[in-house]
């Protein structure tokens, strides 16, 4: 049991696609999230592997979980939103997958920018791997904190 189990529960309850796709959370902390996706025939592409959209969704879900865990204490004053994403497919993905998401900036830096009145960005680097640990895709998801207007 982790102090961040609520992140997985919240995302699973508020993002219907997470349950639909059968994403599970293996590990959740503010500095690293690992999600997994089973091999499901109804989510495969023409090559027999997980559809690109499913892979994208897995990594984006992991990145969102790490952003939520990192900025949980700030939710009353800022809303995390995706600004942009880029995915790089490296190898044909077959079978079950995991996505590991890690912020590439210190959370304190991002919060200092928010405190200064700017709209900070937090790039989250994601690696998608197959069951053998082979990297099948890499993705960068850039999150911002939008200040809540009083």
pTM of the full structure:
0.94
pLDDT digit string (tens) for 35-65? 999 999 999 999 988 999 999 999 999 999 9
Q: Of 20, 25, 32, nearest to 7 (Cα)?
A: 25
Q: Does residue 146 carry a pLDDT above 80? A: yes
Residue pair 143/67 in contact (Cβ under 8 Å)? The answer is: yes
Distances (CA, A) of 61 to 45, 65, 94, 99, 112: 20, 6, 19, 9, 25
Domain boundaries, position 100: 5-147
Q: Does residue 147 carry a pLDDT above 60? A: yes
pLDDT digit string (tens) for 98-123? 999 999 999 999 999 999 999 999 99
Residue pair 130/100 in contact (Cβ under 8 Å)? The answer is: no
Say how many domains are in the chain: 1
Give the SS3 label for residue 27.
strand
The pLDDT assigned to 149 comes to 82
Residue 133: CATH number of its domain: 3.10.129.10
């Amino acid at each position: 049991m982790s102090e961040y189990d609520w992140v997985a529960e919240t995302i699973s309850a508020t993002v219907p696609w997470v349950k639909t796709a059968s994403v599970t959370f293996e590990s959740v902390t503010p500095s690293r999230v690992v999600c997994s996706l089973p091999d499901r025939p109804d989510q495969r592409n023409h090559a027999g592997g997980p559809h690109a959209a499913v892979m994208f969704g897995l990594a984006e879900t992991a990145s969102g979980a790490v952003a939520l865990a990192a900025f949980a204490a700030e939710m009353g004053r800022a809303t995390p939103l995706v600004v942009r994403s880029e995915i790089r497919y490296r190898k044909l993905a077959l079978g079950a997958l995991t996505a590991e998401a890690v912020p590439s900036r210190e959370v304190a830096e991002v919060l200092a920018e928010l405190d200064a009145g700017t709209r900070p960005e937090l790039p989250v680097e994601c690696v998608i791997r197959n069951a053998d640990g082979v990297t099948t895709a890499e993705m960068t998801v850039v999150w911002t904190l939008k200040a809540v207007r009083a």
